[in-house]
Amino acid sequence: MNIKKMCSPKLSTRTNSHSLLWILVIFFSFSCSRQEDSLFAENVDPISDNNKNYKEPSSYLTDIGTININVLANGNYPGQNKQNFIKDINAPNFGYCHPDVQYFPNGLNGYKYWMVFTPYFGTVGIDPDAKRFENPTIVVSNDGLNWKSPGGISSPLQRTPSTGESFLEKAKEPLQGFWSDVDWTYENGKFSLYYRGSFIKAKALKARGAKSQNNVKKLLKNSQRTIVRQTSTDGVSWTPLEVAYTSSTPYSPNNNHIISPSFVYNGKNYVSYEVENNISPNFPGNDGSYIIRRTSNDGLNFSTFKNSKVVNFINKPWTQVNSSYAPWHIQATYVDGYYFLCIATGDVRRYTAESLYLAVSKDGMNFKVLPKALVEQNAYRSCVFPMTTSSEDINFGAVIAYKTGVFKYREFQLSKQKLDDCLAK
């Protein structure tokens, strides 16, 4: 019996099948890559600059004081209580990041100011434990300077993802998923809190989240970044997280970073803005990053990447400071028909910010940037928020965040007529 002869056809068949399998893998990988590269956000024609600038009031540049937040930052995994991962962030132990504030002139549950932020320690990318503390944390105040947790809340709102819940972005990096980039709205008697989960397994998000068809549909596979939402009517008791969108197709090409998404409710629908790094052919020009705009009717199901729009800036004063600067982190607010973006700009290719600007728009797509920076150096993601308005003016509060981990409080007033003049076509 010729064993070699009998086995040859089987070996040949197996070899051919193996080769065919690899061809199919390569084909589908190439096809998926081409499909992602073909995702383009819509570019809307920009409007021309009328060369009229807003002359900022002196209060626009003047801090009232330094903020103190009386809470403990907890970087423990669920079920853990290690003391080395519990840090006091009272002054002078500043470690504050990513503020967003809702202001209630008559108070809500006894407080006028409600802020969500994330504690953070260390330089980005240097201290592997720093991101363990970057968990959504809610605090309240009546003077804008002294903050504490509202009674009855479990802080932080989400514990640090464990190593079992996390996956790696790159080999030889620490295995640590994390939360970041908190932002919220208050509309129709409800807080809607959004934040980003990075390198957290889909099954872990399912386990932490609502048992809903929305989560089942959107958590079919791991995505490098996932934008989630929780809601509350009192700021203390919160619904389980729901997924809004992820960095996988059709929401983002090439697992882009979906940096610092920020949300507003304009009375009709929800609008989100986010920074996307210019790492694919999906954007025009050579800027290091672009801001895209999504919309949603329910605050949970947002535009896909292909149905989103690239925001236009009528002017870019940050490029006069440094030609390599572009938006890195943003915060959006909407009041009386005006959209505002608080933009931390810097060398995004080095994953950092430096200067802070305020931009305004009436259509939510074409923004005029006030030429004078709110902060020229050392700024990070900050926020502005309307306090009171009249037919003539908008009174703002602002939490100015610095890369040192310090927050400062500021107030200023803008004239609606002057805003309209600088936006006039």
Which pLDDT tens digit goes with each residue over 80-113?
A: 999 999 999 999 999 999 999 999 999 999 999 9
Cross-strand bridge partners of residue 86: 74
**Mean pLDDT value across residues 298-317:** 97
- Find out whether the peptide bond into 250 is cis, omega within 30 degrees of 0: yes
> Tokens 């900022």 — which residue?
56
Only one residue has tokens 């080395």, namely 84
**DSSP β-bridge partners for residue 108:** 111
Residue 8 tokens read as 């040859």
Name the residue ranges covered by the structural domains of the chain. Answer: 39-423
CA 27 centroid distance within chain: 34
Q: What are phi and psi of 222, to 5 degrees?
A: -70, 135
As a whole number of angstroms, the distance between CA 157 and CA 231 comes to 12
Q: What band does 1 get if pLDDT is binned at 50, 70 and 90?
A: very low
Rounded distance between C-alpha atoms, residue 270 and residue 169, angstroms: 31
Closest to 85 in 3D by CA, of 176, 182, 202: 176
Instruction: Kindly report the average pLDDT of the chain as a whole number.
Output: 90
So what's the pLDDT on residue 123?
A: 53
pLDDT at 12 over 60: no
CATH number among 2.115.10.20, 1.10.357.10, 3.40.50.920, 3.90.1300.10, domain 39-423: 2.115.10.20
Note the pTM of the prediction, 2 decimals. 0.91
CA gap 287, 117 in Å, rounded = 28
Q: What is the pLDDT of residues 372-392, one digit of tens each?
A: 999 999 999 999 999 999 999
pLDDT of residue 394: 98
Average of per-residue pLDDT across 328-343: 98
Residue 166 banded pLDDT, cuts 50, 70, 90? very high
Q: What is the pLDDT of residue 2?
A: 37
Residue 130's pLDDT band (boundaries 50, 70, 90)? confident
The pLDDT score that the predictor gives to residue 15 is 43
* Confidence band of 26 (pLDDT split at 50, 70, 90): very low
Cβ atoms of 87 and 121 within 8 Å: the answer is: yes
